[in-house]
């Protein structure tokens, strides 16, 4: 039985890890020519783990920075929430009126959908 690629690791995006583990179970060695990475060797598996750990570290840093920015904005009184529902309802009502106007023009026999001139 082949050794696991990353024993004990919990990846957020396991697709690549699962695919590589399946290749390994089938006896297929993965070699990336562009990255000079050979997963059939111990040093290749080490580099793969290091790259994965660095990617996970970078994602966590980004997540922490975003949370800190949101916390800072809220402390300053800025809100980044969605707009209140009333503005959405207003735009929906406006769209309904435009649609009704288009239906009215279509049923009156006009061939153009150009807006009515005042």
Band (67; pLDDT cuts 50, 70, 90): very high
For the segment 78-82, the average pLDDT, to the nearest whole number, is 72
- Torsion angle of the four alpha carbons 54, 56, 60, 61, in this order, in degrees rounded to the nearest 10: 20
Q: Which band of pLDDT confidence, cut at 50, 70 and 90, is reported for residue 85? A: low
Q: Is the confidence at residue 2, as pLDDT, over 50?
A: no
Q: Is this structure's pTM higher than 0.75?
A: no
Report the pLDDT value the prediction gives residue 58, as an integer from 0 to 100: 94
């Amino acid at each position: 039985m082949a050794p696991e690629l990353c024993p004990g690791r919990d990846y957020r995006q396991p697709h690549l890890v699962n695919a590589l583990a399946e290749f390994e179970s089938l006896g297929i060695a993965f070699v990336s020519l562009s990255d000079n990475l050979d997963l059939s060797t111990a040093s290749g598996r080490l580099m793969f783990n290091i790259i994965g750990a660095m990617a996970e570290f970078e994602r966590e840093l980004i997540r922490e920075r975003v949370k800190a920015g949101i916390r800072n904005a809220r402390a300053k009184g800025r809100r980044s929430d969605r707009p209140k529902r009333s503005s959405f309802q207003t735009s929906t009502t406006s769209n309904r009126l435009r649609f009704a106007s288009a239906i009215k023009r279509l049923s009156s026999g006009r061939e153009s959908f150009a807006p009515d001139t005042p």
